[in-house]
Every structure is written in C-alpha cells, then in structure tokens.
Amino acid sequence: MTLSDTDYNSGPALKVGSRGSALALIQDHVVISRLKANSPNLNFEVDTVRTRGDADQTSRLAGMGLGIFVKELEEELLSGKLDIAVHSLKDMPTLLADGLVLGAVLSREDPRDVLVNRFDSPLDQLPEGTKIGTSSPRRAAQLKMFAPQVEVVSIRGNVETRLQKARGDEADGAILAAAGMIRLGLTDQVTEYLPATQFVPPPGQGILAVEARADDHHMLELLSAIDNVDTRYEATAERAFLERLGGGCSVPVGAFAQCTDNTIKMTIFMSTEDGQKSFTSEVIGSKTDPQALATEAFRILEKDGGAELVSVARTNQAYRT
C-alpha cells in the first residue's frame, strides 16, 4: 500500500519502505524531513510493508531471531520496488543482506528504557507482585535483577497496544524504549527513565537507520548529508560487539556506547534469562576505532566471567534484546 504524503514537490517519487505502525510512519517522516532540509526538491512516497514480526503476534519474539522486522523490507529494496528503507537500528541484523548498506544513521534519540505503571511508582517502590510486561528477555532479566519484587509477564504489540495492556488489561505496567515514547509524544505517561548503565539497552536503541542499495550512488550521496558521524561510531561499536558473539545471541545482551570528544565509552551487559548470573563492564577507547573497542569489550567479557555466557550465545544464534 502506498501512503499519500504531503506533496513533496514535483518529480519522480523516491519510494521509502516502512512498517505500518504509527511509530514507524513518524520515523519515516523524520528521515524525509531531514533529507528535504538538504534537498528540498525531492519527492517521496511511503510504502508500508508487513513484516513477519508484524504478522505473527503469537510467537515469542525472542525465539524468532533478529531481522523479523526487516527481511521483507530488504527484499523489496533489493528488487528495486523501494529506494530506501527506514528501520529502528536495534531491529537490524549485524550482517546486512548482500547488496545493501546502511546509508545513514541519524543522530540518536534517548537510548534509555522507561517504566510506565498504573501506580506511578519508581521501579524500586513498586508493590510486591506488581505485574510488569515486556517481550524482551533482556528487560525481563534486568527486572529480575533490580526489582525482584515484581512479576514479569509477556506482552507484545506496538507501543500503543502495550500501553493499553499495561493499564491493567494484562499487566500493571511495562518497560518500553524512551525513543518510541518521545517520538509518539507519550512522555507524559513515563513514570521513570531507567539509567542506560544499569538497564543497558540493546545495540542501536534510539537510532534510526536508513538502508539503501550499495550500487545506488546517487541515493547514498543524498543520505550522507543526514548521517551523524558520532552516532555511526557508537552504532558500529555496539553492533561489532554483538557480531563478535556470532552475529546473534541466545542470552539477554545489551551494549551502549557514547562518544565524548575523541573517546568512546561502551557499557556491555549479558546475563542468564533469570538474571541470576550476569556480566556488566565498561570499556573506553578511541572513537575513530569502534571495531577495536568491540574487540576489547569481547576480550574482557570472556576473561572476566562471561565465557560461559558467550558459549551459550554461540550455540544458539537467536538474538534476544
């Protein structure tokens, strides 16, 4: 289905691929607005594509593997039906399909997770037995570590659906990404922003990525104007760390990098699903060499207690955020 955007001037329309949720369409328009700020004569159409992750609302996300919200968009892009595809970077595999590249990563929105709940209580003050919803094994493990008094329940759906379920339909609250709440204008429902060095987010959280064909040089030139250099360094470090686990992970994992001047600091997290065994560490290096930072993070993980978790991760490559 092609959605009719505001008239973006005359000329052949560039086809922007997207999932169909309200958040995905807002993200499309963020990308379109930034492209038009540099090239006002560009004309766009947004084509929505139903992905496997959107179609299957019953399976556990953790068992479906990374890329379930991406593959169909990539197929349309490779076929030439789309010119670019807009993704939440955290949904993307570390290895892209042959012939595709990340043409741009935009400046990062708030990378943190947030807590919403009907008691309007911070995490450490939630009553015993409070049901907090999430489909993320990483969030579930972190909840069990930092709020053992709560009961973790599984909820799925887009942001609005999960908020509705968290108002008492299926849970008393939920953990969601701050970036989505901000983009949807729903920050008035946030009870608490959870620190990223404790509730370590998945690689790429808060980052919009624009995927394009590697041989579409004109499109890549347009995209280079909206690429954020520091965000790309951060994203590269986080995704390179995940790739060193084998490109996916069967245990809860997080990685959060921040550039400051000429350095980059990354916090990494891995744990068992029950949160009983976990590993967290920080590494610092040159921001212009994010691959080296990822290598050092992986070395520390293996050396200082995470080797068993890495072994489990490489046995089963179903990525779990």
The catalytic site residues sit at: 91
What distance in Å separates the CA atoms of residue 184 and residue 161, rounded to the nearest whole number?
13
Quote the tokens at residue 279.
């590993």
279 close to 270: Cβ distance less than 8 angstroms: yes
**Which whole-number Å values give the CA distances from 310 to 101, 263, 293, in the listed order?**
27, 27, 17
Going by C-beta distance under 8 Å and a sequence separation of 6 or more, which residues neighbour residue 286? 262, 263, 264, 292, 293
- Site of tokens 């394009």: 212
Choose among 115, 110, 130, 113: nearest CA to 189.
Answer: 115
**Phi-psi group of 214: left, alpha or beta (phi > 0 → left; psi -120 to 50 → alpha; rest → beta):** alpha
Which stretches does DSSP call E strand in the chain? 2-3, 13-18, 43-48, 84-88, 100-105, 113-117, 131-133, 151-153, 173-177, 192-194, 208-213, 253-260, 263-271, 278-286
101 close to 224: Cβ distance less than 8 angstroms: no
